[in-house]
Structure 1
């Protein structure tokens, strides 16, 4: 496989992986205040993305992939809120295990990785176009 094509393919896999990560982080942030539907029930549980690398036999390069989208099994936060409809009989309200500060950090990191992969694709495209221009002139 052409090195530029392989580079673009690797970066495209990175874009896809970071795009999924951004979607999951956005969902976590959107549900940071979501409580259970019934008293004493479980609120929204934070989702996580697990990456993996897979060898692309055509190019001989390692590609990033999403192994799975799982859930964070850490404890829920508990608040005393006896008037809330989702609170249990003791007035304890279970809140999602989402920490907005961590999610924002993950979002920033995913966004930067996405941008870096986009820059790789743009540079490879520029090099390819320069090569085509040189071949046209020859």
Structure 2
């Protein structure tokens, strides 16, 4: 019987990578959903962009990827809108530090990574089936 542990390791690593991409998609989706939100209270703190950060996955023993969500510490934007409930005493509203163009580009990259992972998984499946057919 041939040793297929390398194929199993590769499949596990690809599954862990897809899990990472799913975490990134959740963070990006939340950022896009809150890109135009404003604070409810005068001078309130706006939504801070979230970034999914993951530890590297080792191919030999991928396990579950360890990750966390961190807040982007870049400056918030501001806009003069004295009618907003979130405006400070000078009439300025602090807006989220979310750049829709950056989030869209990140989302496209995540989708490409996910698709490549699915394609690689399909190739491993095909290779496994061909191996089984050879030894049968």
Structure 2 length as normaliser, TM-score?
Answer: 0.90
User: Which residue of structure 2 lines up, in the alignment, with residue 39 of structure 1?
Assistant: 42
| Count of aligned positions | 133
| Separation (CA, whole Å) in 2 of partners of 1:126 and 1:54 | 24
How well do the aligned residues superpose, as a CA RMSD in angstroms?
Answer: 1.8
Could you list the per-position Cα deviations for residues 78-110 of structure 1 after superposition, in whole angstroms to 9, with x for gaps in the alignment? 000011111111100010000000001110111
Partners of 1:10 and 1:64 within 8 A in 2: no
- Flag structure 1 segments of 5+ consecutive residues without an equivalent: none
Q: Does 1:102 align with 2:109?
A: no
Cα distance in structure 2, aligned partners of 1:4 and 1:39: 57
Structure 1 outlier segments of 4+, above 3 Å: 61-64
For 1:114 and 1:19, locate their aligned partners in 2 and report how far apart those are by CA, in whole Å.
8
**Structure with the higher strand share, 1 or 2:** 1
Which residue of structure 2 lines up, in the alignment, with residue 122 of structure 1?
Answer: 122
User: So what's the TM-score if we normalise by structure 1?
Assistant: 0.88
